[in-house]
Structure 1
Amino acid sequence: MSNSFGKTIRLFLVEGNVNGLISAELSNWTGKAFKIPRIKVKEYASREEFRSPGVYILFGKNEKNESAAYIGEGEPVIDRIKEHLIKKDFWNEVIIFVSKDKYLNKASIKFLENKMHSIGNLANRFYIFNTNTPTLSGVSEAEQAELEEFLSNIKLLTSTLGHNIFENIQETLEVNKHTEITFICKNNAGALAYGSPSTEGFIVFDNSTFIKDGQPSLSESIRNEKAKMIIDGILLDNGDTLISTKPYTFNSSSRAAAMILGRSATGPGEWTTDEGITLKKFEAQI
């Protein structure tokens, strides 16, 4: 059982729908988040909250159609966002974080920008457009403790507003008494993969081996995905097999098993623990 506590998040849809400005707040927190579509930025640029110092994340796609982001700060924050309307074309929405009680200043937003950039790179979920690492400003020990809490809430609200840029893949895995549950998928032709159910589907870990060629039963969709994984360097040639270089999330255990084995497969029956318990039986346990 987790030692964390439940949290109450208040979302307000300013236009009464999800296509406009959305604000997000946590109980007993001085910060506030705003999610704004790019095409709505000018409409809301005059809001008083955006005249404050703050940090922001631009979200969109890169040239490979991968999830991409740019992390920055501004004082006031809206001036930097307006600059990006002219200078950066990749993004389609922005999430802004400000303080309701003028707690944030130049030093604190530089501190947050640096930490957000570091966490985003470490999570490796999004392509980060920042070419340089933001400068880490000096803050007192007490200020750092407060800003680390502020940062924790930024991570939580960013995920709540639809972007897992700061969420390490390990945080999504199936756990039992704080221990990661690992399943194995293999055959006699050289496939040997390790993975785990996650909140996003099924994750196959790095250093897993995949069958190189697929049987006729393998769908065109999976063949195309495997080809893209090879192009992107996620799968490398390993002689008679392919080997994965990083964890990769599939939308289901069956798709993962089919990719690994090179044939049609039913994941709940193919993935087993070291003790031979199938994923199907594991998920049926209460």
Structure 2
Amino acid sequence: MPFAKKITLFLMDGSPEGRISCELSNWNGKAYRLPKSSIRECSDRPELDNPGVYILFGRSDTVDNEGLAYIGEADGIRKRLLQHVEQKDFWNDAIVFISKDSNLNKAHIKYIENSLYEAAREIGRYQLENSNTPTRPTISEPDTAEMEEFIAQIKLLIGTLGYKIFEPLISKKNPQQRETFYIQAVRGADGQGVKSADGFIVLKNSIMASSVIRSFTEKYQLLRDKLLTDKIVVPSEQGLRFTKDFLFSSPSTAASIIMGRCANGLSEWKTKDGRILKALDSE
């Protein structure tokens, strides 16, 4: 059974829209949420000149407004973030993690960077803007145990600050996801999915319609093309198959992409016994 946690948030600028520091009881780390517009003001925080890891967050301009993230490390966090202000355009917020006792060395932060990158890539909620996979250094067994604990606290605080980059799409603890919904339609459409607080998740191995009707909207066509370009959907013997669970913004968007025509997901997604999603929501 997980223990209760005490987390302290401090509004450094007196506003929830400004800089926020975040501390967890009995942890030697500290987190900061720093808006891009406030990075130049951080000269008053000498601890941000220490080694640490950071994640930049933003949104794409594509039709699905996809979440974007960049995971990095630096010997001096503030200096690196100032470089990103000039060189990277996509991000709006940075989440920074440092050690309060200055106990993180270069190997430690490289280990954390690699672990966070691999976890975020596996979960797939955000498109990662890293051009290369961060390298994973070899560290001692005691250091590995210490860093794994540090990483677990990072994941907890990231979620607390409102970013689900390390939260699996499918969770057995989520009561919404105990019911699976189905679509079977013309042109090979054969989808399975579950509800999500963030929209609707189409499950791995679902089959997308092989073609679309003439009146299919440009918005959905662009999203369909992107799924194919990113190899989230690939040709297979069964048809156009999803290679992973994928989160759509709504049940209707998910149904429209699966069926190749504009559709109302509340009535198209059904349980095995024929109940529509809208009816279950009403219950």
What TM-score do you get using the length of structure 1 for normalisation?
0.80
Give the SS at the match of 2:170. helix
1:199 aligns with 2:191: no
> In the superposition, relative to structure 1, how do residues 275 and 5 fare at CA in structure 2: closer, same or farther (>3 Å)?
farther
Q: C-alpha separation between the residues in 1 aligned to 2:172 and 2:90?
A: 28
Q: Deviations over 1:225-261 (max 9, x none)?
A: 3344344443445699643333322222233223323
The question of whether the paired residues in 2 share the 8 Å contact of 1:107 and 1:138 is answered with: yes
Q: Which residue in 1 is equivalent to 2:153?
A: 153
Pair 1:20-2:21 in alignment: no
Corresponding position: 1:214 with 2:210: no
Q: Percent identity?
A: 38
Flag structure 2 segments of 5+ consecutive residues without an equivalent.
none
1:261 and 1:146 mapped to 2: Cα distance? 48
CA distance in 2, matches of 1:32, 1:52: 12
- Number of equivalences: 279
> Displacement, 1:201?
0.9
Query: Aligned pair in 2 of structure 1 residues 234, 79: CA closer, same or farther (>3 Å)?
Result: same
Deviations along 1:156-183, one digit per CA (max 9) or x if unpaired, are 222333433323322498448xx85422
Aligned-pair CA distance for 1:86: 4.7
Aligned to 1:271: 269
Distance in 1 separating the partners of 2:93 and 2:147: 25
Q: Which whole-Å CA distance do the structure 2 matches of 1:232 and 1:111 have between them?
A: 28
- Is the 1:58–1:70 Cα contact (8 Å) retained in structure 2? yes
Q: Which amino acid aligns with 2:34?
A: I
**In 2, Cα distance between equivalents of 1:94 and 1:279:** 37
Instruction: Name the counterpart of 1:47.
Output: 45
- 1:65-109 CA-to-partner distances (Å, cap 9, x unmatched) read 754333222233333333434554544332110122334333322
Q: One-letter code of the match for 2:92? A: N
Q: CA RMSD in A?
A: 3.3
Residue 248 of structure 2 is matched in structure 1 by 250
Amino acid at match of 2:145: A
Residue 202 of structure 1, CA deviation: 0.4
* Structure 1 unpaired stretches of 5+: none
Q: Secondary structure at the match of 2:115?
A: helix
1:32 aligns with 2:33: no
